């Protein structure tokens, strides 16, 4: 995995963090901020953990049988300076781990962001569904009135009358259920943002090509970074069984008081050494084989994830096409309703058509118009699901 790819992942994540998280509640923003701080601090620690700490020591001692007292202070260091490439690989691993952790944090953010914005689209759709149900209720009331008149004159039996009543009851239950869903949706969304829901306007989502989607898919990016980490771990494991060069040094000061001679002896000392080491481990071959197998498996997983994401994208596009086709058919029906409304209007004005026929047709046409709007919102939600599955670097809201 090249450095450009790692840098791209980190830049995407850090830029989106600043943009998207502002919609969330203050607590969620702070949690997000502290998680990012922890990730960056851990990355810095991981990148330089090959540097050994200085060991500072100080002691006071006295000799048994005499009153001699010694004070000793020293600084020690034992530092690897060459691990057959292992030091560089460790630093590369830290960079890859930082990119992976930032990307994972951005995915957490995207999930919350998707929940909020898709939830707003769902809320809008529920309100359209409620409006549609109210027009269906009007038609069912007209139907019951007409069936009642026909029943009184003996033109319909009780079965048709009962069906009309059951249809109205079904619509009423749908209205109550939709109102409850609207309230629950509003409560759920208010847990995600401090902003008034009406102040957040979701903009249209851009169509992503299959190539754009696969290239920016969170799952694909994560699998590639996981493969990079596995490959680096394999390289590091190989260097564990290769020569290592270490530098050791010590510098100190000793102060001894001789009571019998009432004299003080001061002494400074230092040492410097170079060590070449190479472990001979019986399990080295199997340990490296394990890391190699994990790395090779991670490379295969990348292709598998890409195939899964491609299937998800194609399924999403097919669902969009189905809604678009549904809308096309509905629009054709609306054209017919428009013609029937003209005929009914002329008949009503001429006195041989009732106003109920005209009102029913007008309501049905509005119901179809709202059905188209419901499908358009379904399409927007599918596009949103596709978008938030990617690290595309775009935001779709207005405040």
Each residue's pLDDT tens digit, 277-288: 888 877 888 888
What pTM was computed for the model? 0.83
CA atoms within 13 A on the CB side of 28: 21
pLDDT of 355: 83
Nearest Cα neighbor of 271 from 18, 74, 8, 47 is: 74
Dist CA 136 CA 363 (whole Å): 7
If you search the block for the tokens 């994560």, which residue do you land on?
A: 222
Question: Model confidence over 316-345: pLDDT tens digits?
Answer: 999 999 999 999 999 999 999 889 888 888
Q: How many angstroms separate the CA atoms of 183 and 204, rounded?
A: 25
**Confidence (pLDDT) at 350:** 79
How many whole angstroms separate alpha carbon 350 and alpha carbon 340?
A: 15
User: Within 13 Å and on the Cβ side, how many CA atoms surround 156?
Assistant: 17
Determine contact, residues 171/164, Cβ cutoff 8 Å: no
pLDDT at position 399: 43
Q: How far apart are CA 217 and CA 306, in angstroms?
A: 9
Residues of the chain with pLDDT under 50: 1, 4, 14-20, 65, 399
Instruction: Note the pLDDT of residue 380.
Output: 95
Domains within the chain, CATH numbers bracketed: 3-49+83-243+278-398 (1.20.1600.10)
Packing angle of the helix pair 3-20, 86-152 (nearest 10 deg): 50
- The pLDDT value recorded for residue 351 is 76
Q: Which residues are registered as beta bridge partners of 71?
A: 60, 255
Query: Largest Cα–Cα distance of the chain, in whole Å?
Result: 137
The residue count of the chain comes to 399
Instruction: Output the pLDDT for position 47.
Output: 84
Rounded Cα gap, residues 161 and 148, in angstroms: 7
- H, E, C per residue of the chain: CCHHHHHHHHHHHHHHHHHHHHHCCHHHHHHHHHHHHHHHHHHHHHHCCCCCCCEEEEEEEECCCCCCEEEEEEEEEEEEEECCCHHHHHHHHHHHHHHHHHHHHHHHHHHHHHHHHHHHHHHHHHHHHHHHHHHHHHHHHHHHHHHHHHHHCCCCCHHHHHHHHHHHHHHHHHHHHHHHHHHHHHHHHHCCCCCCHHHCEECCCCCCCHHHHHHHEHHHHHHHHHHHHHHHHHHHHHHCCCCEEEEEEEEEEEEEEECCCCEEEEEEEEEEEEEEECCCCCCHHHHHHHHHHHHHHHHHHHHHHHHHHHHHHHHHHHHHHHHHHHHHHHHHHHHHHHHHHHHHHHHHHHCCCCHHHHHHHHHHHHHHHHHHHHHHHHHHHHHHHHHCCECCCCCCEEC
- The tokens describing 279, both together, are 């472990």
The position carrying tokens 């502290």 is 34
Which pLDDT score is estimated for 353?
Answer: 67
């Amino acid at each position: 995995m090249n450095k450009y790819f790692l840098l791209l992942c980190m830049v995407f994540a850090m830029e989106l963090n600043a943009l998207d998280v502002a919609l969330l509640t203050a607590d969620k923003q702070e949690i997000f901020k502290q998680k990012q701080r922890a990730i960056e601090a851990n990355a810095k620690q991981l990148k330089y953990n090959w540097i050994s700490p200085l060991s500072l020591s100080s002691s006071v001692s006295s000799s048994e049988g005499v009153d001699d007292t010694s004070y000793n202070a020293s600084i020690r260091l034992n530092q690897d300076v060459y691990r057959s490439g292992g030091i560089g690989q460790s630093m590369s691993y830290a960079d890859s781990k930082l990119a992976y952790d930032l990307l994972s944090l951005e995915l957490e953010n995207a999930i919350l962001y998707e929940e909020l914005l898709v939830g707003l689209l769902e809320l809008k759709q529920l309100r359209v569904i409620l409006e549609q149900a109210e027009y269906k209720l009007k038609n069912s009331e007209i139907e019951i009135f007409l069936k009642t008149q026909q029943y009184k004159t003996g033109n319909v039996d009780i079965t048709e009358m009962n069906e009309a009543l059951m249809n109205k009851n079904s619509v009423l239950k749908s209205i109550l259920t939709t109102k409850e869903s609207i309230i629950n949706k509003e409560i759920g969304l208010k847990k995600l943002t401090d902003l008034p829901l009406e102040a957040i306007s979701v903009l249209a989502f851009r169509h992503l090509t299959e190539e754009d989607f696969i290239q920016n898919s969170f799952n694909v990016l994560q699998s590639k970074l996981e493969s990079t980490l596995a490959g680096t771990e394999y390289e590091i494991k190989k260097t564990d069984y290769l020569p290592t060069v270490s530098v050791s040094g010590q510098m100190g000061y000793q102060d001894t008081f001789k009571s019998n001679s009432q004299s003080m002896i001061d002494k400074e000392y230092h040492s410097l050494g170079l060590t070449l080491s190479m472990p001979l481990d019986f399990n080295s071959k199997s340990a490296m084989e394990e890391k190699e197998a994990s790395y090779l498996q991670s490379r295969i997983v990348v292709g598998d994830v890409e195939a899964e994401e491609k299937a998800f994208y194609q399924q999403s596009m097919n669902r969009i096409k189905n809604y678009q086709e549904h809308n096309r058919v509905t629009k054709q029906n609306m054209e017919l309703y428009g013609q029937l409304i003209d005929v009914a209007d002329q008949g009503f004005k001429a006195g041989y058509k009732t106003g109920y026929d005209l009102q029913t047709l007008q309501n049905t046409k509005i119901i179809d118009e709202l059905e188209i709007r419901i499908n358009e919102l379904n399409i927007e939600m599918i596009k949103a699901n596709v978008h938030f599955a990617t690290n595309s670097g775009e935001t779709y809201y207005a405040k």
